[in-house]
Amino acid sequence: MTIDEMRAKKAELGLTSKALAEISHVPVSTIEKIFGGSTKAPRKRTIDAIANALAAEARKMKTAFEPPVSPYKGILREEAAAYGSPERKYTLDDYYALPDERRVELIDGVFYDMAAPSKVHQRILGELYILFRECIEQHGKDCEVLFAPFDVRLDRDNYTMVQPDLLVICGEPEEDSSRRLEGPPDLTLEILSPSTRSKDLILKLYKYKNAGVREYWIVDPDHRSVTVHMLQDEDYFPKNYNFEDKIPIGISNGACSIDFSRISDRLKRWGFR
């Protein structure tokens, strides 16, 4: 199996580099260097280990693919979608075939319909974008803050495209694309709503951690709470805050923090209690 064939098989199986590393016992960094082309002459035993792992995983796959159908069929709302058991695996081609006004996320081949955000959601998001940008600029951090809708090809495969409410990218991205981000951001933030609550609390937490996102904030407007996950820290424990707290940005190593009391005060002025 050539490297191109292994790369295609990895995408076909929907495997992340980390998942492939676990089943092949080849380090993630080695796999990414081989598939990225920076390692020109990998060892035969390394190639054999990756190829054998891909072949074994392919034998385990029992998902039957239906013939191509309209991309409008089978779009599932968050509360109806079953993770890992779609009728067929949708791809980025299906994602980009949707009309512009249809906003969805694609996660492991399953479409998740995204309802229009509420006013309080958008107010909080707008304030957070300003506070994150101010904090980064004040401390001279080489980071960029973006907010939804913006595509993130989280696993660099053909089956997942997410749109975090807010994301922070530090340093130069490995692959420069004006259309989307290739790979995980350094920080993601989601604002909970009834239609996305379980997806943000469970599915995205799992996906962000395994993709390599360093820090994940979950903002709950109903309970005026914020949960921060430092996903790549060993033995981490999520930290809980409220809307009156000053919350440190973990990836800034203590240099930056977000004063949520400013958001709380604005919400009160706008009539949100």
Q: What does the pLDDT look like over 194-204, one tens digit per residue?
A: 888 889 999 99
Residue 66 lies in a domain: no
Distance CA 224, CA 220 (A): 6
In terms of Cβ atoms closer than 10 Å to its own Cβ (0-12, 13-18, 19+), residue 206 is exposed
Task: For residue 32, give the nearest of 42, 158, 23 by alpha carbon.
Answer: 42
Domains in the chain: how many in total?
3
Same domain, 125 and 105: no
Q: What is the pLDDT of residue 73?
A: 47
Residue 223 lies in a domain: yes
| CATH number of the domain bearing residue 22 | 1.10.260
Residue 68 lies in a domain: no
Q: What is the pLDDT of residue 61?
A: 60
The token duo for 212 is 């390599």
Same domain, 130 and 253: yes
Same domain, 104 and 123: no
The tens digit of pLDDT for each residue in 224-245 reads 999 999 999 888 889 999 999 9
Angle at 23 between CA 12 and CA 236, to 5 degrees: 105
Same domain, 150 and 126: yes
Task: For residue 89, give the nearest of 25, 20, 11, 35 by alpha carbon.
Answer: 11
Main-chain phi, psi angles of 114, to 5 degrees:
-115, 115
Q: What is the pLDDT of residue 249?
A: 93
Q: What is the pLDDT of residue 162?
A: 96
The token duo for 75 is 């779009």
Low-confidence ranges of the chain (pLDDT < 70): 60-87, 173-178, 273
DSSP string, 228-257: EEETTSTT---EEEETTSEEE-GGGTTS-E
| CATH number of the domain bearing residue 175 | 3.90.1570.10
Same domain, 132 and 262: yes
Same domain, 130 and 264: yes
Distance CA 215, CA 233 (A): 9
Q: What is the pLDDT of residue 17?
A: 84
Distance CA 77, CA 84 (A): 15
Task: Give me the sign of the Cα torsion angle 148, 150, 153, 154.
Answer: negative
Residue 90 lies in a domain: yes
Q: What is the CA radius of gyration of the chain?
A: 20
Distance CA 154, CA 14 (A): 12
Q: What is the pLDDT of residue 176?
A: 57
Distance set, CA 168 to CA 3, 119, 172, 173, 237 (Å): 32, 23, 12, 11, 21
**Domain, as residue range, for 49:** 3-60
Distance CA 191, CA 136 (A): 21
Residue 106 lies in a domain: yes
Distance CA 75, CA 65 (A): 16
Same domain, 226 and 163: yes
Same domain, 87 and 134: no
